[in-house]
Structure 1
């Protein structure tokens, strides 16, 4: 039996999962079958889902076991991941994002006497657009409530694990302007695609991104031109120009980027759309906050996060979500990624307390 959240985190982190999550999914599935009497399933894409307890409403503890590509310093000679403990922290790819929180959720799931149906879910493909979460939802995964273990530590003050009740989404899109090529010495014989693209960019610059209130804060969207490419020679009027847009979305309205298509020869396409999240059940959010408060000496708050998570897909499908996890701002995806062992224990306790008090 794995005794501590630190030991289980070490076991999960050591298994590579940036190209193929199968092996670490095997570890999670085997542990759940060995340590619990829950109904454990594994779907075709590799999501691991377990259920126990009963009731009219369900609570899910949600994470993901894929990671981004590790730095060379995070790899052992045999291809496994380096996991080191120093000064009360575990270092290695996936410690913060987010195998540590997955380990905490596994232990809480095992030990809790749930108030209703309790679900554990660890998804694949979060880092590449929520592949696993979307597949699970398409196959009927629909908990009433979810605590998603993405990072929420250090938002209100250093070292405090807060509860995030909203986050932004991300819509990536491309403006494609087409014209007619001509020799630059006879520019009027063509239609300059770069000029058409810059007309569209002027529209983007003038857009007012929407904003919403959440947790006493204003969660504001943004729209930014991040790349532009056009032309093929210094003496040719360009017949094509592409502009890349990074848009951070909020629940509700979107920036009216479709307006750029009012220009002749301009087309707008959406390449990726990761949904935002906002919890509209204040009682649920306060219950998770009370559990987090009881598990630590600091005073957690309801906060917002700037980036998208699988909570967005769940929220879009109708699940009331909050985010509560050990990772701190700036830890994920770094060459020295790490997580506090004490905070992992705090998360384990928080998840268990929520599972035993919610749904009410």
Structure 2
């Protein structure tokens, strides 16, 4: 176990104490109170590492601000429960409740609701992982608990990606669950994503003599028209319907108010079903925009649902709800690429993630914990 103590103002700070055996909703609040915007995960990583190190039934490994804890019971099957420690930056809106520290409030029906940054994305899921790690000393499957940094930023910084590069043997498993918010419903796999820069070129001229030039912005009109009339398809993959989307997400061109622009660029984002790989997605977009100058700038493969695995089927039966597809990209794709079928399942509404009103119901966190505990002890 590598020591990476959090240092503040030149002083080594003692890790915050986390009670893993109390109420999992209260544990969520304690995790939220430790600010952990991407790049500043050291304090929460210290607290998680210290809490896990107190559990003799787990082996603990740390890499930077990522932690892996594993049971070593010799079970026939190993499952992975994974979640990220970081959050997006705190809101700047005055009076926002989606910040740090956390705040408890009562809903109209008297239900306890926890407000603050990370409530849904995803301190609730991390709290469930920690509570299970402490409470399940002899689960029916071996369990690997993964807590990682830098999820909310560029993919090359991903702590999970670093773990796969540095210690892939510690991430071997038969099935993985990423505790991203899904409102307590299993969401299988995820769409892939790919981005392109499309460029149109013209000839500059004074706008008073526009006929002497060629307007590159006007030439982009055909591209935008093709995208606007395009109708996204829905693709059934392993029993789940994945809806695709293809959109222009950024555009720019021109240098002055009296100059015909000779250059225009637009950025295109295609969210594609997991029946395709990035190369197949690229071929699809190029067929829609033949003859245009397209540059692929970023791509991440999706993940098939993996619901045909026996462990996944048993988990779906325990949850008792019909699985749904995950439209957004998540780290289940990293597990899928490593040959580990994976699904998303966690407390909270994903539509509240990153919002100034981010919150999660206490009963949703407890229900998530209950489903996973039942599955791992039945």
TM-score normalised by L of structure 2: 0.80
Aligned CA-pair RMSD: 2.8
Quote the residue 1:18 is aligned against. Answer: 37
Aligned residue runs from structure 1 range 176-187, under 5 A: 176-187=199-210
2:316 equivalent in structure 1? 289
Equivalenced residues, count: 340
Once the two structures are TM-superposed, the CA of residue 189 in structure 1 deviates from its matched residue by 4.7
Residues of 2 paired with 1:353 and 1:114: CA distance? 10
Q: How does 1:202-351 map to 2 (within 5 A)?
A: 202-205=225-228, 209-214=232-237, 216-253=239-276, 254=281, 256-259=284-287, 262-263=290-291, 266-271=293-298, 273=300, 275-293=302-320, 300-351=321-372
Is the Cα–Cα contact under 8 Å of residues 18 and 67 in structure 1 kept in the other structure?
A: yes
- Equivalent of residue 92 in structure 1, options 101, 116, 132: 116
1:63 aligns with 2:83: yes
The 1:167–1:329 alpha-carbon spacing in structure 2 relative to 1, beyond 3 Å, is same
Structure 1 contact 74–82 (Cα < 8 Å) conserved: no
Runs of 4+, deviation exceeding 6 Å: none
1:274–1:99: structure 2 CA closer, same or farther, 3 Å change rule? farther
Report if aligned partners of 1:40, 1:50 keep a CA contact under 8 Å in 2: yes
Gap change, CA 1:8 and 1:309, over 3 Å in 2: same
Per-residue CA distance 1:200-236 (angstroms, 9 max, x = gap): 3344446564532157552121101133211122332
Task: Give the superposition deviation at 1:287.
Answer: 0.9
Q: Which runs of 5+ in 2 are unaligned?
A: 1-18
> Is structure 2 residue 136 aligned with structure 1 residue 125?
no
- TM-superposed CA distance for 1:56, in Å, is 5.6
Partner of 2:11: none
Does structure 1 retain, via aligned residues, the 8 Å contact 2:348–2:365? no
The answer to which of 124-133 and 93-102 deviates more is 124-133
1:40 aligns with 2:60: yes
My pick for the range that moved more, 85-94 or 214-223, is 214-223
Q: Does 1:136 align with 2:166?
A: no
Structure 1: 5+ residue stretches without partners:
154-160, 294-299
1:246-290: CA deviation from partner (whole Å, max 9, x where unpaired): 3222102226223477536x2323235363452252533321122
